[in-house]
Amino acid sequence: MKHMLIAIALLIITAVVTIFYFRSISQANLKPADLLKHVPGDAALVLEYNNDDSFYEAFNDNNLFASILGPIKTREFALLKKALMQNAVFKSYFKNRPFYVSVHPLTGEQIDVLITTTAANPGKEKLYKNAAILNDPNFKANVSYPGYTKLLKLDIAGMGRSFFISESDDHVFSASFSLPLLRIAAEYDIKNQRNDFYQVPDQQHANAFGLLYINYAQLKPLVAQVFSGSNPELLKSFKSLAAQAALSFNYRKDALMFNGLTAIDAKKPASYLNLFAAQQPLDNSLKDIFPATTAYSTSFSVSDPQRFITDLAQWIGKSGLHKSSVELFEKIKAETGVNIDHEINKQLGAEFATLTTRFQERYAIVDVKNGAQILPPLINISTMRDDGIGQFNYEKIPFFLFGDAFSNFNKPYFTIVNNYLILANTPGELHSFIESYNNQKFLSKTETFNSFDNLLSEKSNVSFYLNFKNASHVFQRDMKPGFYSAYNNAEPGLKNFYGLSFQLSASDNNFYTNLCLYQPVSDTSSVKNNN
C-alpha cells in the first residue's frame, strides 16, 4: 500500500511537471494570432516584425524609420538593441522572435511604444532574477522600483532614461520606456478582455516582411493626445469608423508602403465612411485641381451617386437628424420655390472632396454634371455678390446633401468654376482658389507630387492626403507645444517626408487599404517584400 501511494504521488508530480513544461513550451511558441491577443486592446497602431538582422539591415541605407522615430528615439533604440543583443540571455530569448510594437493613446506630450513578445527558450528562472542579466557590465539592472513588482529596470550608459521589462507567468514579455504602458500591459487580462485586431491567415504571416494593425476606434484619442482639439477635421471621417485593419509591409528606399484589408465591424453603428463600402472604386481626378498649397485633403468617390444619396438619407435618419433635414428643405421650398436637394442631387457627379491649405483656407469641391444648370437654383437660395460669389441663406445645406465630411461648411460662400461647385467660409478664400485655378497653380503640376502619386492606387473611394511641408503652419497652430517642438526640431524627423496617403477602396462591403509614406531621394529602388 505504501509503495502504491508513493507511485501515485510520483505520477501526480510527473503529470504536474509535464503540464507546466508543455504549457511553458506552448507559450514560448505561440502562433502570431495568439501572441497578438496579449497586446492591450486600447492600442491604435501595432507593428509586427521578426527581431532578426534582416529587418534592421533593410533600413541601413535610408532614413525612413529614423525620420519616423526622430533622432532621440532612434539613438535610444540603437543603444538598447546593442546592449541587449550583447547579453547571452537576452539574445537566446529574443533573437528571431516576433515583436509587436504598439502605440497607445496616453495623456503626456510624448508617444512611447509597448513591445510584446515571447522568449524562444524561457529558462526556469524569471528574467528579473537571472544573474547573467543582473551582473551584466553593459547596463545597470534593478528589480526594485516603487509601486511595481517583478519588473526589470535597465539603465544603459548614454540612453538618458530607463527601460523596463516585465514577464508574465506564462512567459509573455512586455517592455517599454513608459511605466504607464507597462501598467496597462500588467492589468490587461486576455481571459476577460479581448482586443479586436484583425487576424490574417498564417500564410500571410509567413510571407509578410512585417504587418501593421490599425484600430480605427483608437485613432481619435491618439490624435487628441497630439493635437489641441482646435482642428476637428484632421482624419475626421477615419476616426469614427468602427473597423480594424491588417496591412502587409513593403518598402523602397524612398517609401514605406502598407496594403491589406480594413474589416468593418457590422455589429457597431455605421459611420459616414460605411456609405462608401457599397460603392465601386473609381479613378481620382479632383486631385488634379487641388491648389499647390494644399496641406491635407480627403477625397470621396461614388460609382452610384443615387445610391449614395439614398444611403446618406438613411444614415442621417439613424443619426436622429431626419426631421431636421426634412424641415430645412421644406422651409427652403416654401420661401424660395426651389427644391434645392432635388436640384443638387440630380447634378451630383462621382467625386467630392474637402481640403485645407498651408494658409488654413478650407475648401469643399463637388464634381457636378453641368455647372451652368446648377447655378440658377443656387442663386435663388443665396445672397449674391457682384463677383459671382454667393452665400447660402440657410444653414447646414452641405451637411445634409453630402454628409459629415462637409459639417465645417455651415453657411458657406460658393462659386461655380466650370463643372465644379466650390465652397468656402469666406469670399477671400474663394478668390484665392479661383486665382490658383485660373493660373493652374496645382499640386498636379509639381514633380514631387506626381512621383508620390505614382506610388498610390489609381482607384479608391476614400483618399486622405497629407503634405508635411504645407501642413507645418497648421501643425504649429494645432499641435500641443511639446509635440510641435519635437516635430519641428527633429532631424531627421517626420517633416523630412514629403507626403502621406491613406486610401480605402470598397471590396465586399469592407475596404482594401493602401497606406504610403514618401520621402524623395535621388535614387529609388524597386519594391521589396517577401511575397
Q: How confident is the model at residue 123 (pLDDT cuts 50, 70, 90)?
A: low
The C-alpha atoms of residue 475 and residue 468 are separated, in whole angstroms, by: 9
Q: At 71, list the grid cell.
A: 533622432
The C-alpha atoms of residue 238 and residue 223 are separated, in whole angstroms, by: 11
Bridge partners of residue 459, in order along the sequence: 283
Residue 101 has pLDDT above 80, yes or no: yes
Please name the residues in contact with 4: beta carbons below 8 A apart, sequence gap of 6 or more.
none
Residue 88 has pLDDT above 60, yes or no: yes
Q: What phi and psi, each to the nearest 5 degrees, are found at residue 164? A: -120, 140
Least confident of 69-83, 109-123, 451-465: 109-123
Least confident of 3-7, 304-308, 319-323, 507-511: 3-7
DSSP type of residue 503: E
Residue 4 has pLDDT above 90, yes or no: no
Residue 275 has pLDDT above 50, yes or no: yes
pLDDT at 17: 37
The C-alpha atoms of residue 62 and residue 58 are separated, in whole angstroms, by: 9
- Comparison of pLDDT for 120 and 44, the residue scoring more: 44
CA dihedral 262, 266, 267, 273 (to 10 degrees): 70
pLDDT at 470: 96
State whether the Cα torsion 71-117-223-297 is positive or negative. Answer: positive
Averaged pLDDT for residues 138-164: 82
Please name the residues in contact with 65: beta carbons below 8 A apart, sequence gap of 6 or more.
59, 74
Q: At 12, list the grid cell.
A: 501526480
The C-alpha atoms of residue 99 and residue 82 are separated, in whole angstroms, by: 16
Residue 434 has pLDDT above 90, yes or no: yes
User: Helices 305-318 and 322-336: crossing angle, nearest 10°?
Assistant: 120
Q: What is the pLDDT of residues 492-522, one digit of tens each?
A: 899 999 999 999 999 999 999 999 999 998 5
Q: At 69, list the grid cell.
A: 522615430
pLDDT at 195: 78
The C-alpha atoms of residue 276 and residue 510 are separated, in whole angstroms, by: 9
Q: How confident is the model at residue 130 (pLDDT cuts 50, 70, 90)?
A: confident
Least confident of 170-174, 481-485, 497-501: 170-174
Residue type at position 230: S
Averaged pLDDT for residues 15-44: 63
Residue 530 has pLDDT above 50, yes or no: no
Q: At 35, list the grid cell.
A: 501572441
Residue 34 has pLDDT above 50, yes or no: yes
pLDDT at 5: 40
pLDDT at 285: 94
Q: Quick one: 22 exposed, middle or buried, by C-beta within 10 A (0-12, 13-18, 19+)?
A: exposed
pLDDT at 24: 42
Q: What is the pLDDT of residues 392-422, one digit of tens each?
A: 999 999 999 999 999 999 999 999 999 999 9
Percent of the chain at pLDDT > 90 equals 60
Mean pLDDT taken over the chain = 87
Q: How confident is the model at residue 372 (pLDDT cuts 50, 70, 90)?
A: very high
Q: What is the pLDDT of residues 178-233, one digit of tens each?
A: 998 988 888 888 877 777 888 888 777 778 889 999 999 999 999 989 998 755 56
The C-alpha atoms of residue 398 and residue 283 are separated, in whole angstroms, by: 24
Averaged pLDDT for residues 419-444: 97
Please name the residues in contact with 454: beta carbons below 8 A apart, sequence gap of 6 or more.
none
CA 475 → CA 45, 479, 529, distances in Å?
21, 5, 33
Q: What is the pLDDT of residues 313-359, one digit of tens each?
A: 999 999 999 999 999 999 999 999 999 999 999 999 999 999 999 99
Residue 33 has pLDDT above 90, yes or no: no
DSSP string across 242-277 = -EEEEEEEEEETTEEEEEEEEEE-TTSPP-GGGGGT
Averaged pLDDT for residues 15-21: 37
3-state secondary structure 153-186: EEECCCCCCCEEEEECCCCEEEEECCHHHHHHHH
